[in-house]
Amino acid sequence: MYERIKETAKFLKELGIINPEIGIILGTGLGGVAKTIRVEKKIPYHDIPNFPVSTVSGHTGALIYGELSGRKVVAMQGRFHYYEGWEMEEVTFPVRVMKLLGVEKLMVSNASGGVNPDFEVGDIMIITDHINFMPEHPLRGENDSRFGPRFVDMHEPYDLEMIRIMNEVAGEKNIPVKQGVYLALQGPTFETPAEYRMVRLVGADTVGMSTVPEVIVARHMDVKCFGLSVITDLGIEGKIEPVSHEAVQEAARGSEEKLNDLVLEFIRRC
């Protein structure tokens, strides 16, 4: 795997993607942040050696390099999900590549179902911690010490200083944000009412189908992580309604302006 990652990083460097400071993974309906990047390079995934190709509607499938709020960033417009049939090694492959390009901080975003009764559709949540209920661990198998240690310390999966900065930005802009724990399930089905209850009982505030594998692999390589989740549907007893991927995308777009405003200033201060 290491040689394939090196090959991909070399290809991208030769195209001019040099020393990005921050990596960004943009989730469902949250691709609007990409519109604010001063783009220097935009490369479709299918043109990048060894990259998977996203199969999910609403995920553009391109790697963007440029400047955002005065910082060099590399952003994924569309991520890869375990439920699409990719192996965890493939789901997290771009995060490995980002590290070899020079990324030391990673911002991830997603859409999720809220199970905290204080949450409403459209809320923005800072991810403070996560619970991994994925059926496959992204670090299972022989460890490559060139990336990181066999046993990874996860006491601070989401960087406390970055969380502080975002809370500061949100306060100054008077944009309400929640904080909470994100739980990852395999998908692609949305949760049953009983599963929503389980998610809440084990201590989570939201549930989704992504993010956790990428964060685990980033922490394996000592990349600092920050996560945002937009609440696009509710798994709260008495508030559960029919949900679809299209409805999730529409709800995420409803929070896009606020999210962009937060992210622009957050990146400036990181």
Domain ranges of the chain: 2-269
How many Å apart are CA 238 and CA 207, to the nearest integer?
17
Lowest average pLDDT, out of 3-17, 21-35, 122-136, goes to: 21-35
Residue 262 binned pLDDT confidence (cut-offs 50, 70, 90):
very high
State residue 28's pLDDT score.
66
pLDDT value at 101 more than 80:
yes
Q: Identify the residue with better confidence: 236 or 42.
A: 42
How many Å apart are CA 49 and CA 10, to the nearest integer?
10
pTM for the model stands at 0.93
Residue 44 binned pLDDT confidence (cut-offs 50, 70, 90):
very high
Instruction: Give the burial class of 227: count Cβ atoms within 10 A of its Cβ; 0-12 exposed, 13-18 middle, 19 or more buried.
Output: buried
- The verdict on domain 2-269 having CATH code 3.40.50.1580 is yes
Q: Are 115 and 206 in contact (CB under 8 A)?
A: yes
How many Å apart are CA 98 and CA 12, to the nearest integer?
10
State residue 200's pLDDT score.
97
Q: Per residue, what are the HEC states of the chain? A: CHHHHHHHHHHHHHCCCCCCCEEEEECCCCHHHHHHCEEEEEEEHHHCCCCCCCCCCCCCCEEEEEEECCEEEEEEECCCCHHHCCCHHHHCHHHHHHHHHCCCEEEEEEEEEECCCCCCCCCEEEEEEEEECCCCCCCCCCCCCCCCCCCCCCCCCCCHHHHHHHHHHHHHHCCCCEEEEEEECCCCCCCCHHHHHHHHHCCCCEEECCCHHHHHHHHHCCCEEEEEEEEEEECCCCCCCCCCHHHHHHHHHHCHHHHHHHHHHHHHHC
Amino acid identity of residue 81, one-letter, is H
**β pairing state of 22-26 and 105-114:** parallel
Q: Are 230 and 119 in contact (CB under 8 A)?
A: no
